[in-house]
Each structure stands twice: as C-alpha cells, then as structure tokens.
Amino acid sequence: MTSEPSISAIYEEALRRLNTRALGYRVRHATVSDIDAVIDINMSELPEHYPRSFFEELLERHGKAFYVAESSSGSVVGYIMTRVEIKPGFFKHFLVKSGHVVSIAVKRDHRRLGLGYALMAYAMRSMHEDYKCSETYLEVRVSNKPAISLYEKLGYRVVKVEKEYYLDGEDAYVMARKLP
C-alpha cells in the first residue's frame, strides 16, 4: 500500500517545486473570467469535455477547491476542478464527505514543472480545510501512467476499476486517499 504523506507535507513540497522548477508560475483560485481559458485547456488536452454550465456550476459551488496555474505572462496554463459529495466512503462503510477531483489538466508546453502536483496539493488542502472532506478520489485512465504515478506520490491508491468508463471504452482506475 502506498504511504499517505500529510497534506501539509504535500503543500510544502508543491511550494518548493513552484519556487525551483516553475519560477514565475503561480497557483490561484479560479474566477469566472478564467472559465474560457479552462475550457480551452480542457478541449485541447483532454478527450473528455463538459458543457460550459458544468464548469460554471463547479466554480460557483466548490470554488474554494477550483484552481488555475498561471504563467509569468498571466496566461492560464492549467486547472483543477473538484466537487464535494456525500457518498459511501472508500475507507469507512458509511456516508462521508468526499472530495472528487473531476478534472485536472496542464498545457503540454508547461508540463514537467510540478504544476500538476501543485494543483493537486492546493485542491487537496482546500477539500480538507475548507470543505471538511475525510477522503478524496478521482478517476484516471488505466493507460495514463504519468498521472497514476503522480497520484501515487500524493498518497492515492487504486480502490477499484470502472470497466469501460470512458467514451472510447477504456477502463478507469478509481484512486482514493484519506484526508487527515
């Protein structure tokens, strides 16, 4: 089983990465004016797309855990959006408040700088501190080895496989971790 680093340790590591590998970049809360850029990133970097109203609803309802990564020129180059759900837990067999990472993406030219790690760290911290979630989870394509590796570093582990989860028929791992 993958160890679960603390949220504070993950957050501190994200800040270190931003200050060493991604100089000039910053992670901040998303605003309504970022929605077009977020949709553009979603459309160009991911095969799964959502209607504009979905992005707007998640920002309105769960904006404390909806972040963007911004380059030194002020361009939005990545995002993470989440929602909070009350559902049967992966680690406790009763209803829990669970933070669901709905979508995360970083523009191809801005990858490998630690921005995905930082976006996850900020969102995990918000899901725990602002929304009082006791766990967090996400779905990831079984073929997406770089993303799976990132999530494992953050303490996530595979808790189940969703067969034919994606429109193209690919399976998804559901990965989850406890939040302290």
**Per-residue model confidence as pLDDT tens digits over 24-80:** 999 999 999 999 999 999 999 998 899 999 999 999 999 999 999 999 999 999 999
Total count of domains within the chain: 1
Lookup: tokens for 36:
């077009």
Instruction: State which residues form the domain around 110.
Output: 7-178
Lowest mean pLDDT segment, chosen from 3-7, 49-53, 82-86:
3-7
- Average per-residue pLDDT for the chain: 95
Q: Is residue 1, in this structure, part of any structural domain at all?
A: no
CATH code for the domain in which residue 31 is found: 3.40.630.30
Only one residue has tokens 């399976």, namely: 171
Only one residue has tokens 């996400």, namely: 138
Give dist(CA 105, CA 98) in Å, integer.
Answer: 21
pTM exceeds 0.75, yes or no:
yes
**Tell me, what's the pLDDT at 92?**
86
Burial class (CB within 10 angstroms; exposed 0-12, middle 13-18, buried 19+) of 152? middle
